[in-house]
Amino acid sequence: MIEALEPVDIIFFGAHPDDIELSCGGTIAKSVADGLRVGIIELTRGELGTRGTPKIRRREALAAMRILGARFREQLDFGDGNIRTGREEELQIIEIVRTCKPKVVFTMWPDDRHPDHIRTGRIVTEASWYAGLRSLETGLPHHRPQVTIYYPQNYLVTPSFVVDVTKTWKTKQRAIAAFKSQFYDPKSKEPPSFIADKKFLEMIEARGRHFGALIGVEYGEAFMTKQPPKVDDVIAAYAGREP
């Protein structure tokens, strides 16, 4: 069992260190600012990355966690480049969900570009549901989160909702910058990669502005759900906007 785990309101799951920052960094920082307890779990150590080593990436991931204000960040070892999704792996996630009792779980959109992202989306969805089965005995009380929310990474999907992250966009940028081995660094001697190109961070910026524009704010992060969220105040939800 992972020792650092503690009860939280939300858990963000990703395949590789930095996946979560790119798509949810602003939402994590906002949730923490709103007083929620947040935990982060990666399913791999990112050992197949073009740049950096698992040790460097772990150090960077912990620095990013502190910037975002999460309570813990743990890495599982399901295998980068071929994430295993058997019963053993499923039970590890069930144990995390039952230990941390999150109200909400975020994971990767299970139809994304990278097969590891697809598998992450799928196993987290299924394990979060199985965690609520009373008769599935693991030594921990059953717990089922209210919802599994998906974040996009490479492919564009119509969002179910967009979170206003204007106030925490700079924090997100700092958290991404903590992954020094992965992203644009003109002094780096590491091999070039898709995400280390300067254009990649410009794309993240543009995407944040695009999602923000959809809800009439400066920066937004988009999410998908299988069921729509409940809206209490339609006028407030569309305040200051025009069709």
Q: Which residues bind Zn ion (CB under 5 A)?
A: 15-16, 19
Q: What are phi and psi of 225, to 5 degrees?
A: -135, 155
Residue 152 CB, nearest approach to Zn ion (Å): 12
Residue 209 CB, nearest approach to Zn ion (Å): 22
What's the residue count for the chain? 243
Of 92 and 153, nearer to Zn ion (C-beta) is 153
Cα–Cα distance measured from residue 206 to residue 146, given in angstroms and rounded to the nearest whole number: 31
Residue 16 CB, nearest approach to Zn ion (Å): 4
Long-range contacts of 197-202 (CB under 8 A, 24+ apart): 201/176
Of 118 and 217, nearer to Zn ion (C-beta) is 118
Of 73 and 98, nearer to Zn ion (C-beta) is 73
Of 116 and 164, nearer to Zn ion (C-beta) is 116
Helix (H/G/I), strand (E/B), else coil: 38:
strand
- The string over 1-35, giving b where at least 16 C-beta atoms fall within 10 Å of a residue's C-beta and e elsewhere, is eeeebeebbbbbbbbbbbbbbbbbbbbbbbbbeee
170's enclosing H/E stretch is: helix 169-177
Residue 228 CB, nearest approach to Zn ion (Å): 27
93's enclosing H/E stretch is: helix 87-100
Point out the residue whose Cβ comes nearest to Zn ion.
16
Of 15 and 215, nearer to Zn ion (C-beta) is 15
